[in-house]
Each structure stands twice: as C-alpha cells, then as structure tokens.
Structure 1
Amino acid sequence: MRFLNKLSIQSKLLLMLLLISIALIFITGYMDYSSGKTAFTKTIFNQLVILRSVRAKEIESYFQFSKNQILTVSESPSAIEAMKTFKAAYQKLETQTLNPNQQQQLEKYYQNVFIPELGHNVVDGTPIAETYLPQTSVAQYLQYHYLAKNRSKQRQNDLENPGDGSEYSKVHQKYHPLFRNLQKRFKYNDIYLIDVDSGNIVYSAEKQVDFATNIGLGPYENTNLAKAILSIEKSRDHSLIIIKDFEPYRPSYNKPSAFIATTIFDGTEFIGALVFQLPIEKINGIMTSSGQWEQTGLGQTGETYLVGPDNLLRSLPRQFVENPNQYYQALEKNGLDNNTIERIRRLNTPILVQKIESSALEQAITGKKGTAIYQDYRGIPVLAAYQPIQVGDFNWGLIAQMSADEAFAPINEFTRQLLVTSAILVVFFTPLSNWLARLFVRPIKQLRAGACRIGSGETDVKLNIQSKDEFGELAVAFNYMSENLHQRELLIQQMKQENENLLLNILPDLIAKRYKKGEQAIADTFPNVTVLYAEIEGFNELSAELPPEQTIRLLNEIVSAFDEAAEAYGVEKMRTIGNLYVAVCGLSVARVDHVKRTVDFALDLLKLITRFNQQQGTKLSLDIGIHCGPVVGGIVGKTRFIYALTGETMRIAYAIHSSPRQNVIQVTHKVYESVKDLYPFEQIGEVEIPKAGVIPIWSMKIGGIKSSINVNSSLNGASVGIID
C-alpha cells in the first residue's frame, strides 16, 4: 500500500487499467474457451447424431428392400415353378455317376482352383480338398458339369446348359437367366433354391462349391446358411423371413457373408426356401460413404462403422481404408495383440476379426442411443453418437465419431491466438498508455462509451464534447460516422428484408435456407409428393375483352386466393404460367397425408373460382389434374434462377388435367387408391402419355362428397370428363 501512495493518480490509473485489462483478457478468454468448447461439443454431437441417423436409415432401408424383394420373388409364379421343377430334376439325377476321368477332373478343380484361393483367406490351418469334395453322386455330377468342366468363373455363372442332356439342364436353361439377372442387377453374392426337407441346394446362381450339396451335412452344416435353413425348417410359416448375420463363409472363399431366407409355398403346400447371399460390400459402401467422408460432413477424422453383437466389426474403419499402415501402428500402440493384427494383415480386412469394446457400443447393442466422449479402438479421444440397428433377431451397434482434436481444433486455435495477442497488447500499450493517459483520459471515456454503444448494435449515437481542439473535431467526425452507420443500417435492414421476401417467393422455405448458406448446385429427389395442375378455363377469352390492367388485377385476385388456400392446406405453389397454376404437397415438409391435402385443396379451388364468378360476373372454370409420385427438384439458372420440378410425375399430372367439361378434378390410379375411402370417384377412361404408357383416369364426384369442405352448391353434380 505504501508503494501505491507514492504513485501519482495518473500512474495509479495506468496500473489499474493494465491490471484490469490483463484480468479481463484472461477471464474473458477463459469464459470464451469454456462456452466455445461447450458450443462446439453440442454442434459436433448434433452433426454426428444426424449422420448416425442417416446411416442407420440407409442400412435399415437396404435390409427392408431385401426383405420386400425376397418375399416378392418367393411368391412369384416363376420362383414357385422353378422350385418344383428343380427339385424334381435334382431327384432324377440320383442314379447318375461320374466316370473315373470326370471324377479326376472334379478333384483337380478343388485342388488347383478352389483350395488355393480359399487358402489365401484362411488363417487357422491349411484347408485340404478332401474335406470339401461333394459326397453325393448328384452333387458330384452337377459340380463336374457346371464347375470343373467349365473352369472360367464367368462361364460358370452364365452357363445355362452344359450339354449333358439331363432334365436338370433343361430346367436350368429355362430359369437360370431369370435368377442370374436378378443376382447381377441387385449385386447379391448368390441366390439359392433349397429343398428344405432334404437339405439339398437344388439351384445356385453363382455356382460356388456349395452348389448341389446338402447344407445339413458335411463341411457346411455349421454355416450361417445352414442355420437359416434350420430356422426355416422348424417354422415353415408363410412369408417367414430369416436373416443371419455376417460370418466367414468358406464356399465364398471364407469371405464375410450374410443370408436372408424365406419360404416358398405352392398354394398351401410348403415346397422349399429362397435364399439371398448378401454382400459385405454394400454395407461398407453405406458406412464409408463410398470414401466421401469429408463431403458428407465427417471432416478429416470422422467415420461411421458397424459392430455386431459379438463386438466384431461389420464395416471397415476409415483409417484402414485411407492409410492401413497408420491403422496398424495405432492398433499396436493401443495394445491390440499381435495375432489379431497379423490376421487383419493376412485377410486384408478387420471385419469379423477386430473386436471393439466401449461403453457406447454396449449401450447401442443393448438397444439404447446417445452421445459420449471416450477413447476409441485406437486409444484416441473421440466424440461419438451411437444407436442400435435391429437386423433380424439381433442388434448391430452403429457408431458415428470424430476425434476430439479435430472437433476442438477451432477453440484451441482461438485460445492460442488470444494468449499471443494479449501478450503483444500488454507490451505495446504500456508505455503508450503512460504517455497518453494524462491527455486523453476524459474525452476518451466519452468516445469509448460511444464506441461501445455502436459495438453493441446501437447506431444512433451522439457525443457532446464542447472542446475546440482535435477531440472536438474527433467528436464531430464520430457523430458523422455514427449518423452514416445509422442510415446504412436502416438501408441494409430494408434491403435484407426485401431480399428475404424475394427469395422466399422464388424458392421453397428449406431450399431458400440452403441457398442462403451458400449452396449453389441444389438438386434433390423427393420420393413421394402430390402434384396439382389447375388451368383456369375461359380466362384467356376474358382477358382478350379487358384492358391489360384489369386483366392482371383479376388474375392476381384469383392467384392470391389460391395462394391463401394453398398455405392453409400445407400445399406449396410452384409457379403460375398464364392461366395455369402448379402446386405440390409433401416437398419442403414431408407429410403422410399429402394426397388428401392436395385433394382438399383442389376442392377449395373449385369453391374459390365459383365465388369469384359470383362476385365478378364471370364464367370461369377449372380443369384440375392430380398425380402423386417421385420428383426431382433443383435450382435452375444462374442470374435469374427458379426452383423447378421435373420427372414423370409432373408430366402425368399435367397430361391429365385437361377436360372438355367444367370444374373437374381428374386423378390417377395412385391418387385414387390413396383417398378412395374418403371421396367418391368414377373411372372415366384412359389416357396415353408418352414414355408412361396408357394410364387409367378417375373423376371425383363432387356432389357426393361428405367432408368438412363445403363446396358451393353450384358445383353439385359436376363430374370429370376425359376423351377415351
């Protein structure tokens, strides 16, 4: 305290300002660091949750598609007839045997082709041909003619008839192109028809070494395919679906394979099973975004991966794909045993080899979802979002994660810059402040107060400094600057609001938000929306009789009324072209009832046009066409852009809207099926549409509608007309 008493007021003020400045810098820096870290953590977690949900939806959609497809195929007449004829033809071969030369060729195929390739993917022990040679005469016969006799893998897959003259080959020639095309188009590893009662694989599209063998006996009896068939055999329920998780499958050279199986019934008679062999590559493609991690928002270290209930990987980690050597080094550093690392090197994949253990994964596999910060399988701190994915009767754990270093890099850089800047400012301003403090302390306080007000967002700031020196001039300049800022702020706000309104008039809300964030090439596919085309009949004739100003005023009145109705029903106007009004529902906001909303909107349009006629003394009418389905939407143009929708759904909706009658609503079969229980319809004919073919058209019976929408009585009895 004695030291302070010896200092002048100016020195005390200087010292106090320096101490306060330093303290404020560190306190503000710490608060900014803490709040910044919290905000960044929340942002990263939100991003990871979104990515996690997207990947989970893709995986679930893939399996749902496979389930729907296998059920559809199993119930098709072709599959049922194929199962019956393959079984019968297979049984007829039970008396067929190979001669010694043919038997020798079959053995050489296993020794020289299958076993060497299998050996590359088997770590434990050395496979021998005798273990896998088919034991039954039928299997030997078919494998000789379809595998050993045709060494080329391409020829094995596409071979329809080996020319042995058997009934089986005739059946195979008839049905193989169907199943082979299905396999190649949807990239299944194999498609099987299996006689569940006997366990015989009576047909295989890929012609692996399990072809024609008995899945319940021999080297494949403990495989996941055999387990799937055992479950089918025990249940034998119609439309039963069994999914078996990925396991190494030796007929596929020990590569990871999963199977989805279902029953085949001929009427009420159970006749066999249809099985798809699922590829691990599809799962990898989804989880790795086909290598596009940064483009999908995962940055430089983020990744998503799957882990099975056995805690083994079901998809490839990002670092293994991008830099295997660094991946192995990270595993060694984290203490993974050398045997496991060597198995990964030998098999060139950690799938079904590397075990992942973490609290987040345990939560996911037990059916819970959430976020966490922990050390991952490499010993690296990560931020992660996790959730379960139910596949069949088991759960996979899905993890979306990003390294903590990358997540917190901006806040760490901010802290470093803050410390450096603080040190420089303290050193630089100490002598300068000592020289200027005495001269500027009083007017600077006023200037500082005014500047703080501007910095806080207040632009209408005026300083009252009466001195005639430079401070006075500075005050005049400050006031001038403040006034300019205030006027510019008002102008900016006005222009910003005008731009905002203009953008929202051109683009849907969600697209406008994306465009404002900087996206330029915006194009999306919308799987299911409802499109409405409404043409104002008689308006062109009316406009020819009116002055331009009155024409535009009437058209604006009609369109404005339509717009208000569209907003009330959650329908989005896309554009108006003369007397044509185009709208869509389910685009920006996905709606379960988008078809019903559009139909209700169409009914309200009829009511509005009738009211307009009554008010204006006109005789206008509407032709309305409604269709639902997928569309593609995107921004078209550069300087004068629009948001355009295209696709077959748009063409069909446009093609069906015209009618020779007045005030009609015409819909397609898809729309009719969606709302037929809510509104009365009558089928009125068909219309041929280029590239879409001939489609049936339904007309809404306006007078028979019993709903909350009170259509004007002048429309009662109106019906849709169309030229057959």
Structure 2
Amino acid sequence: MSETVAEPRPIRWGLAAKLFAILLLLGAVAVLITGVLGYIQAREALERAIFDQLTAARETKAHQVEGYFRTVRSEMRLLAASKMVVDATRGFREAVDEFDRKEVPAGVKQAVQGWYDGHYLPMVRKLLGANVPTAEFMPVSSAAYFLQDLYIVRNPHPDGRRDLLDDAGDGSAYSKLHAVYHPLMRTAAATLGFQDFMIVDPRTGRVIYTVDKDPDFATSLRAGPYRQSNLAAAAARCASAPDPSATCLEDFSPYLPAEGLPSAFMAAPVIDQGVVTGVLIAELSIEEIDSIVTGGRRWRNEGFRSTGEAYLVGPDFRVRSSGRSFFENRDRYFSELRAGGAPEEDIAAIQRFGSPILHQHADTSATRAAVGGVEGFGEIVGYRGIPTLASWGPVRVSGVKWGLVAKIDSDEAFAPVYRLKRDLMIVGAIAFLVVIVTGAWLSRSLLGPLRDLTAGVRRFAAGDHEAHVPVRSRDEIGQLCLAFNGMIDDLNQKNLVIESKNRENEELLLNVLPAPIANRLRGGEKGIADGFAEVTVAFADLVGFTQLSSEMPPAEVVTLLNGLFTRFDVAASELGIEKIKTVGDAYMAVCGLPVPVPNHAERMVRMAIRMVHITREHAMEHGVSMKLRVGINSGPVVAGVIGKSKYIYDLWGDTVNLASRMESGGIPDSVQVTRPVYEKLKDQFVFEARGEIEVKGKGNVEAWVLRL
C-alpha cells in the first residue's frame, strides 16, 4: 500500500503582504508612542522654562528689595553720625524740656482738642470701625500741647504739606532751632525717599522732631496712643544700643498717623560722646517695596503674561505687596478670595483701606517655605485656591522674615501643551482605528502557523529543550519553523558546553573572591567598595624564611610554604575567617567581612593561636626552623575589588596599616595586638603589656603580647 502525502495548503498571502500589515501596525503604534512622549517632553520642557523664568524674576526682585534696605541702613548710619543730627538732637531735647516747664494756656488746650475732634479722630474712627474716645489721643505733656498747637493746629499749610513750615514765629528756642535744621532734614528725607524723618528722646520716649508733623509729633511712645506701634518698638530697640553701626528695622504694619497706611520704621542711635542721646527714625512707605515687587504694576512687561505676578509675604502670612487681580479685575479678585476661603473680615479690611497689603492672607505651602528660609519651585494651590506654578524663596533683610513668591496660573502656563494634547488625541484616535483594522486582518492570516511557533517557543522557555514545532507551510514562516528546530538542536549542544565552562568559572571565581563578593560581581555590579565599621585584621609573617628558602631547592620551598598556608586556610575556614592574600611568606586575613560577625576579634585571636601552633608542628615535620610573627588590630576598613582582568579583593585603612605594623614590630613565635583588641578580649585571654612601641607614621603605640 502506498502512502499518500497531503498536499500543502495554498498560500493566500505571502510574507511581503503580512510584513506590510505588521509595518502598518507598528507605524500606528509608533505614532501613538511618539505623540505621548512628545506631549510629556513638551510639558516638561515648558514647565522647566516657566520655573526658570519665575525663579529668575523672583531672585531679581529679592535682590532689589535687599539692596533697597542695605541702602537705607547705610544712609541711616551716616545721618545718625552726622554733626547736623547730633547737634539737632541735643538742641531739640533742651528746647522740649523748656516747653515742659511752662503751663499750658486753656486756649491752647481747647485749640488742640478741637483739631483732634474735627480733623484727626473722624479718620481714626472710620479706620478702626469703633468710636474711640478723644482722651485716648490727647497730649499728656506741656511740650506736646505747645508743639502740636504751633506746628499742626496753627500751621498755615494744608494737611500733607505741614512740612513747609520752617519757623512757627513764636520766638521760642524750639522754633529757632527748627528754622535752622528743619529745611536740612526735610531735604534729606525727600532726597532719600523717606515718608517721614523723626528724632526720639530715649529718656522719655517722646518724639521731639518730625518732618511731616503728623499727630505722632511730640507724643510719648511709652505712654501715648502709639506705644504699641512698630515706631515705638524701633525706638526702644535702638535706644539701648550705643553702637554707631547698629540699625533697628520694624516690619510694616498699619500706622494711624499715616491714615492707616502700612509703614515700616528704620532706626539708628544718635550717639554723643559715647551716650545715646536720641534715636533717628525713618518712616518707610510700602509704596517703594510694592513698586519693586510689582514692577510698577507692569506685569506683562516683566513676562508674567495674563495671570502671573510676584508678591511679598511676611511672617504673619499677610502680603507686603499688591496683588495683580486687585487692580485689573477687582470683582474677580474678591470672588476668588472668597472661593479660596478668605475670611470676610479680611475682605472688609481690604475694601475699607483700599489695599490688600497687610490685610490679605497668603498662607500656602510656598509662602510657608519661603518665610522659613527655604527656596524651591513646584505646582501648588495659590492663595486664591487656584493651581499655580510657583517659585519661592526668602528675602534676606535683617530684622524681618519675608518670603517672595513668583507664580503664574497653571492653566495659562500649560495652554500651549493643552492644545498639543488635543491635536495628539485626534491623531491617536485615527492611529487606533488603523491598528484595530490591521490587527483583525493580521490575526486571521498569521494565527495558525504562529500559534505552533509560539507554543514551541513557550515550551523551550519553560525548560523543554527538545521542543520542536511542526512545519505546516513552505512560505517564509515555514522556513522560520525549520530554522527554529535547527536552533533548538544547536542550542542544546552549546548549552552543554556552556554549563561545563560555567562550572569551571564558578570554581575559579570562588577561589579568588569571597562568595558574597563573587555573587555581586556576577550580578553585574561594578566598582565594588564597602565600608565596615568594625572588623579584625591579622598579618602573619615567617621569621627567617628568606634565609631558609635560599638554602633549599625551589620545589621544596614551594612545597613547604604551600603545605603551611593550606593548613592556615583550613583553620580560617573552620573559624569563619576570610583569607585576603599571601605575599611571599606573609599571610593576611580578616574577620567580620564581607558578612559581619559580632565576635570577630575573638575568632581572629584563636586563628592566630592556631597559626602559631601549626607553624611549630609544620617546622618539626619538615625538620626546619620556622617561627611565626602575628599582628592583630580591630577597627574600620574599606574593602573592595581591585583590577579588571585579574580580580583581587583587598582592604585599606589605618586599621590595616596598624595591623601590619603590629606584625612587623612583633616578637617571633608570638601574637601582638593593639589596644582595641586588648580591650575586647582582656577577660578571655591572657595578655602581657609590652608598653609603647614605635610605629612608622603613628609615633608610639601601645601593644600587648598574647600569652600562648
């Protein structure tokens, strides 16, 4: 009976058509991957660029603010030390004392009280939202009544221009001094950009001179209505500092005499013959700082786009500069504050004072980090409750703890990336449709032959090295199946060779390196170096072996030394000690690495005792005279693999060097140890103190000899 051979099924599609479909599929996937990677990279690049821009803007503004205060400090030191200010302080003090000795006429009191009732207190009550009594603000000394009457009540110039009055014309000593010094002080304040210039008498805490002649003029900063102000704090701090280089800065806070506007005060002591006779104080307006931080409210010109800004915040987490949206869209500003959880009293204060400065809270992770002195950047939820990209950091001004934040809304920052994402999603959808259609067709045409090939590969991967696949076609896939079967046969032969070589290499590697180090090296680790806090190192050397070897044939020398060191190796293995190397007739070992052990010192001393006894026995067996000298030390070492083509595991450190010195400076047929070893084992072994021995590079070192 003849066998019938099944005819091969006709090929409907050649490999070329199938390869085309695969390439089409890969192309679609590539589009998707490229789109995703493009989006991620574009977002990261844009984010980095924005953070770099925000950080640069923040650092620039921080340097400007710091530079402003450095300039103010220098100017205050110079003015406080000038002859003009020293002489003016002395004269104003005497003139004010002269006024205090006079009785105040009833008409003067009535005029001053009338000015308070009609001009000043209505503004105060409006700002404070309370009906404060007039008595709380009235002067408490004769000088205060006279000076406020002359320079405030009867000042012919309107409010805000009282500084134009040089001579009150009453003929008093104060007025004569004022006519001399006031023009100079007014010019200095205007030139330096100060809101006001003041001199405070440290004896009484009284303001004995001001340029602007506001209601704080001639009042007491100890008992008057402004005793709790930052002006009083600045005056008190500098009144006790007879140091010409001292300055005292008080942070911005609402100041009633300045109509409730934020004011900071920089003070410097006025020193006359080593005594603080006055305190010179400059009132600093928030407008200068606000102009620096907001860039004169030209946010777009500074690259902040539509929503970006920089703002300054103090340790109370209230802003020290104006918010952008407060000026550009006030309705949206207040609605965003409410949405962000701002208290209604803060919003009412902002509306009442017409400024967010010192009234708006900005308590975010960025402001807390900045006030705490930490620089950084990232995406945060801003004070308006809106996600923002921000860069933050401290403003280093002595006397205050400020932070500066530069930010931009995340939606605006990432708008270009969002547009790119939309376009990529459209392209990705099209590519996905292509993948679905191509995959359906490809699965029908390749599933049968590839199923057999895949099953064969899986069996081989699972360990079936005899896995062969049937050849069902004569096309390229059929040829692939034939090649796979041939590869299986070839790999089986090569695996046998490789396994044999691997066993040889494993034995060789373990003979050179400790097992844990060899495992790490096989795992692909390079540059192996470890530090060990506490190990014990021993060096042993045969005394007189060089002379002995010169009298023996080379083969006998090698046999003698190999036999001895082989017995050393057996003892080391039994005690869990790692042999490092042999150099000539020297033997080096360590205990406690690469696997730490708690009793490394004890093990090493027992090893040393065995080595001495083994040497004696070996010498007797071979009829030669040999003595062993051993040195031991404990301490930290660094261990690592040296070399590339020929590995060696070695140790370094002072511990190794001192152990070597203990051996070289030891006594033949004995074990010499250092203090760390002695301290660990003095209760287990008997040691004899050898005293101090000279060690190269260490000087004199204590040593002990183990009694064998």
Q: 2:142: which partner in 1? A: 137
CA distance in 1, matches of 2:17, 2:296: 66
Match of 2:272 among 250, 261, 266: 266
Q: 1:226: which partner in 2? A: 232
Q: 2:109: which partner in 1? A: 103
User: 1:71 and 2:77 equivalent?
Assistant: yes
Over alpha carbons, which structure has the higher Rg?
Answer: 2
Alignment check: 8 A CA contact 1:96 1:141 kept: no
TM-score by length of 1: 0.56
Q: 2:97: which partner in 1? A: 91
Matches within 5 A, 1:160-175: 160-175=166-181
Alpha-carbon spacing, 1:155–1:246, altered in 2? closer, same or farther (3 Å): closer
* Alignment root-mean-square deviation, CA: 2.4
Q: 2:365: which partner in 1? A: 359
Q: 2:313: which partner in 1? A: 307
Identify which range, 18-27 or 320-329, moves more after superposition: 18-27
Q: 1:29: which partner in 2? A: 35
Alignment check: 8 A CA contact 2:108 2:145 kept: no
Deviations 1:373-413 (A, max 9, x none): 11010111111111111322331011111111122111111
Task: After TM superposition, give the deviation of residue 15 of structure 1 in Å.
Answer: 5.0
Task: After TM superposition, give the deviation of residue 215 of structure 1 in Å.
Answer: 1.1
SS in 1 for 2:48: helix
Alpha-carbon spacing, 1:133–1:189, altered in 2? closer, same or farther (3 Å): same
Deviations 1:166-213 (A, max 9, x none): 110110011111111122223211100111112111100011101011
Task: After TM superposition, give the deviation of residue 269 of structure 1 in Å.
Answer: 3.1
Deviations 1:678-716 (A, max 9, x none): xxxxxxxxxxxxxxxxxxxxxxxxxxxxxxxxxxxxxxx
Q: 2:450: which partner in 1? A: none
Q: 1:147: which partner in 2? A: 152
Q: 1:156: which partner in 2? A: 162
CA distance in 2, matches of 1:103, 1:121: 25
SS in 1 for 2:420: helix
Alpha-carbon spacing, 1:100–1:55, altered in 2? closer, same or farther (3 Å): same
RCO higher in structure (CA 8 A, sep ≥6): 2
Counterpart residue type for residue 387 of structure 2: P
CA distance in 2, matches of 1:226, 1:154: 22
CA distance in 2, matches of 1:337, 1:139: 40
Alpha-carbon spacing, 1:345–1:15, altered in 2? closer, same or farther (3 Å): farther
Alignment check: 8 A CA contact 2:247 2:268 kept: yes
Alpha-carbon spacing, 1:237–1:429, altered in 2? closer, same or farther (3 Å): closer
Counterpart residue type for residue 142 of structure 1: L
Counterpart residue type for residue 138 of structure 2: L
Matches within 5 A, 1:20-419: 20-123=26-129, 125-150=130-155, 152-419=158-425
CA distance in 2, matches of 1:116, 1:15: 87
SS in 2 for 1:360: helix
Alignment check: 8 A CA contact 1:97 1:141 kept: no
CA distance in 1, matches of 2:175, 2:12: 112
CA distance in 1, matches of 2:51, 2:106: 67
SS in 1 for 2:349: helix
Which stretches of structure 1, 4 residues or more, deviate above 4 A after TM superposition?
5-18, 421-431
Matches within 5 A, 1:540-559: none
Alignment check: 8 A CA contact 1:241 1:261 kept: yes
Deviations 1:103-160 (A, max 9, x none): 222112111211222334324x233332211121110111011111126125411100
Alignment check: 8 A CA contact 1:243 1:391 kept: no
CA distance in 1, matches of 2:288, 2:209: 24
Matches within 5 A, 1:628-643: none
TM-score by length of 2: 0.57
Task: After TM superposition, give the deviation of residue 97 of structure 1 in Å.
Answer: 4.1
Alpha-carbon spacing, 1:297–1:413, altered in 2? closer, same or farther (3 Å): same
Tell me the number of residue pairs that the alignment of Structure 1 and Structure 2 aligns: 426
Alignment check: 8 A CA contact 1:373 1:382 kept: yes
Counterpart residue type for residue 143 of structure 1: Q
Counterpart residue type for residue 64 of structure 2: E
Deviations 1:53-93 (A, max 9, x none): 10010000000000000011111111111111111111111
Task: After TM superposition, give the deviation of residue 278 of structure 1 in Å.
Answer: 0.6
CA distance in 2, matches of 1:314, 1:216: 27
SS in 2 for 1:286: helix
Counterpart residue type for residue 134 of structure 1: P
What percent of counterpart residues are identical?
A: 33
Deviations 1:37-63 (A, max 9, x none): 111111111111111110010000000
Task: After TM superposition, give the deviation of residue 306 of structure 1 in Å.
Answer: 0.9
Task: After TM superposition, give the deviation of residue 419 of structure 1 in Å.
Answer: 3.1
Q: Where does structure 2 lack aligned partners over 5 or more consecutive residues?
A: 1-10, 438-708
Matches within 5 A, 1:567-716: none
SS in 2 for 1:201: strand
CA distance in 2, matches of 1:376, 1:12: 56
